[in-house]
Structure formats: C-alpha cells, structure tokens
Structure 1
Amino acid sequence: MAVRKLVWGCLLLFLAGKADRAAAQSRDKPVLLQGVGKLPLPREPDALGTTVTITEQPEIILTAEINPEDLSQSFQLIALASSRLGKGKVLAFSTPAYFRKPLVQDAEVQKLLTNCLNWGSRARQKRVQVWGGDEALTAFLTQRARVKLVGTAAALDPSADILLVASEVADTAQVSRLAQFVRRGGTLLYAPPPDAMRKQAQRLAETRFNELLRQAGLWQTNYLTVQYERPGFLSAGPVPPYLGMQQVLTSIRTNTYPSEPIKGGYIFAYTLNKALEVNPVNAPVIQRLKRAAHYQPDSLLVPTAARPVRQGKGGNYVAYLVQHQLRENQLRAAPDPAYVAPAAATFPGAVPASAARTT
C-alpha cells in the first residue's frame, strides 16, 4: 500500500510539473486573447513580415498561414509574440497594420489592443507614448481605451507606462534608451515600420532595433513577407512544431525535422540559423542546443556509407546540421589554421605526406 501511494505521489508530481511547464509556456496568451474573436489578416498593400523567437523565453500568441487558400502548400508565420526584458515586457507584431485604419477600427482588433494595454500596465489610467500609427489609432486610444497620451514623437517620455512604436528608430542611442525603458519596467508594443520591407534605410533601422528585440529573444526581418489579397483570419491555435525556438529544441531532441520547405522547413531552418548567428556563443540557448544535438567538437556526426545520416523520425539529420553549424560558428569566432574537417578522412581520404601541392 505504501509503495502504491509513493507511485501515485510521483505520478501526481510529474503531471503537476508538466502542467506548470505548460502554464509557463502560455502565461500571456490567455490574457491577451481573452474575449477576442477572429482577428483579420492584414490586407494588401500591408504585409506580414517575419518574426522569429531566438530563445525559449518568448511566447507565440498568434500565427498566420502564408497561403490560407491552399493549406497543402502553406506553413505558418508568427503574427504576434510576447516576451520579457528585465522588469518589463515586449510585444512584437509582425505588421504595423493593426496600429492604423482600417484594422485598428475593427472591433476584435480593438479588443486585442485593449488587452495588450491592460497586460502592459496595471495603472488605472495608463500613460501611453505613441511613435507611429495614425489618427484612427489616436482616436481608439483616447476615446475607447481612455489612456493618457504623453510625450512627443521625438523623445522618450520618462513618465510613460507603455510605448507603442510603429515608426523608424534609426538612432542607436535611442534604441538603447528604449531598452533601458523596458528593463526598468516599461512595456513596449512594437511593429516594423510600414515600408521596412522595401526601403534600404529602414532595413538598417530595423537591424538596429533588432538589438533591442534580440535581448528579449526576438528577431524581425523581411526574410519572408506575405501580402493577402482576400479576407482571412489569424490563428490562435496550437503552435506548429516547426515554429519558434521551443519547438526547434524539441525537434532536435526527438530527431524530427520538417524536411519539406513548404511544410515548415523554411522557417524552421531560418529560426535555427538565426539563433546560432545572433546569440552569443555562451548564451544559455546555445548550451541547450549543444546538449540537444549531443555536440562534441571532436566527434561530430559524419555521413558515411556504413553510417548514413537519416531524415525523418528517429533519424539524426537535425543533430548533424546543428553540430556542424555550431562548429562553424566556433571556428568563425576563433579560427584554427590546423583544423581538419571531420569528414576529410572519409572524403577525399587521407593525403600522403609526399603528395605534391596543387596550388
């Protein structure tokens, strides 16, 4: 009887741990989407850009199909993600369309934005500073959300609780001030500028702003931009297994990989490569990637006829990719003139010491 109680106790602790982890992974989604119905996709000329999570911290709130009219030839992108930075919070939208008309006038979008404001500050009357948007956004904030607008479009107001940014921030010092604003407890609602996918100058500004987003485990680019000709809706359903760093790490641990680009392989590979590229080599997420891929610099996976690298469930293709990318990053950071590629002994094989140089 005592043994049975012990087994049940362990099982309950295990299930409670799983529930706690699940709750931690969806801490913001229920709050941000409370009472929110179907949210419309941005219609052209607006576009949905690419947001990726480069650490496990951010939470994916909403996603969008790139081809909602043919789901067999589609995969999802992040439309909205939340994160933390210091004592503050960050919400990253993949389009500025929700900060101006016509979408900011949509009832469901207004419910979402109201939830975002309440999530961002507990103050009875929130003090919001706005960089970007239009008169429809201002009308919503003052008449519907009843916030107090503070500051100017040029300088950060220290009294603001929430900063809503959908305009170019090209000054590196200004980006640093915004990061400090969040770290001290402020909330940032950010969307890339309307023309960020087209103008070279704004691409540079976007890169600068990514220095702030990176600190919160987020990254935004114009890697993929999608325009929607017909009406459609965002998805609040479960996050697909190829989207986000949490899912990437799970895929590496379980050796599952979306081998078809149109089934999520594009965004899976981009997320992984971007995380390896922009995170410091000693970052916690890099250490977790190493453990998940069983990374040992001196014993990398090498495909041979006897021991091929295999895709699919139970294969080792993802671990192979991650191991070699990690090694390349290490060599890039600390070049080793004497380094010999691990596959050299297999192909082209050992080179005789007496062989003449060809160059």
Structure 2
Amino acid sequence: MRKLAHSTFLVIHLLFHHTLVIIVINGSQVSCDLTVSNIRQIPEILLSQKKSSLASTFKIALFADLHYGENAWTDWGPQQDVNSDKVMSTILDQEVPDFVIYLGDVITGNNIPVANASFYWDQAISPTRSRGIPWATIFGNHDDAHFEWPMEWFSSTGIPQVQCLEHCSTVSEKARSFRSTTRLELIKNEMHKNKQYSFTKNGPINLWPSVSNYVIQVSSFDGRNHHPISYLYFLDSGGGSYPEVISSAQATWFENQSYAINSDSRVPELIFWHIPSKAYKDVAPRFGIHRPCVGSINKESVAAQEAEMGIMNILVNKPSVKAMFVGHNHGLDWCCPHEKLWLCFARHTGYGGYGNWPRGARMIEITEKPFSIKSWIKMEDGKKHSEIILS
C-alpha cells in the first residue's frame, strides 16, 4: 500500500457495469484495481453478468432488520432464519444486485445466549456471500443488545441452560457469563472472515462507541481515469450498548469527510443508518400514504433517535445529499421529501422481529448517463412496487 499525502481515505475497487466502485476511508490507498485482467476479487460469474449488460447502472439491495438468532432456544426461532434466507435468496436471484447493504439489526443480540453472535451474523450474510456479491453492514439497536434471560428457561428444570451451537467451542466460563458480543467483535469477525467480499469498515476510532462509520465512492472508469458518480455514507445510529443517537462527533466527521472529497457538492451523496432521525416524524404521512410520499405500508409511528445533535442540519444544507435510508420500523416502507432530500425507510426483510407484514427489500439503482437515482420495493413473492425517482 502507498500512503496518500493529504488524504484520510482508503480506496478499494469493485465492478460497476463496465465501471468501478471505490471505498474511501482512513488513510491508505490499495493500488490494485479490478479490471478484466485483474479480477481475482470478483468471481467470473459476476464478471460475465456485467459484461453482458450495456446499461451503466449500479444496483443496491437493502436488507433491513433480519434479526437472526431470535428465540434461538426454540423451534420457532431457527425456522425464522430459514425463512429470511429464502427472502434474500429470492431477491438476490431475481434482481441480481451489484451490492448489498445490511441496514442494521442483522441479529437479535438480546436473544443470543452465548458470546458467539458472530455465528448468526455469518449466517445472515451467507446468501449474499454464496453468490459472490459484495456487501457492507451497519449496526442497529439489537445487534449488540444485552442478553435477556427467557423466562421459559426457569420453568422446566429451574436451572438456566447454556445453549451452544455445534460450531461453538466447549462451553466455557466465558460462555457461561452470557455477555453480549460487542459491536467491535462482530465487525472485526466479519472483516477478518470475508476479506474478499465484505466492504464493511469499523471507522475512525475517535468516534467510538459508534463503530460502522465509513464512505463508499461509486465511480465510473473510462479506461484511463475514475470519475466519481456517487458517495455512499454509512453511520452508526447507536442502540444496544449505547444511546440511540448520531453524535455531534459523527456529524462533524461527516461534514469534514464530505468537504474533503466533495467540496463543491458536485457528486450526489446517499446516507445510510438504522434508526430514523426526528425529521422522519416531521414528514411521516398520516392516514395512508399520499403524494408526494411513495410507499405501501404505514402501520406504525416513527420510532426516532433519542436526540438530534446536528447531523440533519448539515444534511439538509448540503445540496449533494439526495436521500437517506433507514430501517428499525418494520411497519413502514415509505419515502417522503424533506427540504431538498428524500427520507426513506427500507422494507422489513427478515422473519425475525415484530410484525406480520410481507417481507421484501428496498432496491436502489444509480444510473450514470443521464444520471438518476431510482428506488423501489421488491417483495418476497417477486412483485415490485413503490417505484420512485430520488434524483
């Protein structure tokens, strides 16, 4: 790796329909790129799909609120994970996205009885990994939540039982402590085991305890130069082990990063975090969903972050920010305008978590020429709805 003299970014390349994706974060530049002659990081099957396409587009699937590992000690819980596998597999096979974003609450940490939640995290990303599709993750409020004793453990024998899957090592004192698997442990495990496809980063250490704060740059490549098309920002909105908030430090970090790489606001920016900001409450539709909002379910009130510490003021005053995407509320899937940007919910993807609404995923498609950002909901039954042009 060679150091960049005046940059705080790491650059890694991915394929973008005859173009490239570049990740930007933290200090060094990876010199290799993924051209046709140097394609080791992307399997040939993915390359052949891109070569057959004439459209210069980049498609993203958002998988929100999977909640793997919920009620893991029952027959019901593991079956929900199987059902979630099927939802993701259907969407991945039908939409064939270029990239996947796991939008928080990948697991239900408060239901996982040993400090080994990474097993469920690995299971949740396996449909994407097995297809050779790159991905990135951010944290939700359940991912590292403290374990909660299920009352039924006391009903039969009166002695809480350690539940350990086959992959676990022998039940140890560490396992018997029932401590949660931390954010940092989860993210480091993902990065270590999935170096080929995981583009997740644990972000600047000075933003701790928030972990998943990083930037992805989507660029085109004309054979000589890379041309930025869009920046994707990922922020950790807390919950679980710390308050549900985007801190003032994170807001400053975003402002500084955006100024450093996009000072003239020429390149469009998209924002991803898990828990909606209070601005979502301001624009939430009442009594159904009506234009200019677009969506299909509006079944609950917005459960927003605990406080607003400046991030929204920065976003609404930056013309390059086009849309924000969150999960958390399983009964909402709308997009509504706020100032000059769009506030969007994903669709509840996993069978874990509350609610019986049909599962699906929000799709995002970035087109280079003419530039546009389009989004829609893809359902587990294959139907598509709520298409909207965001830019």
* TM-score normalised by structure 2 residue count: 0.30
Q: Which protein is bigger by CA-based radius of gyration? A: 1
Considering fraction of residues, name the structure with more strand.
2
Considering fraction of residues, name the structure with more helix.
1
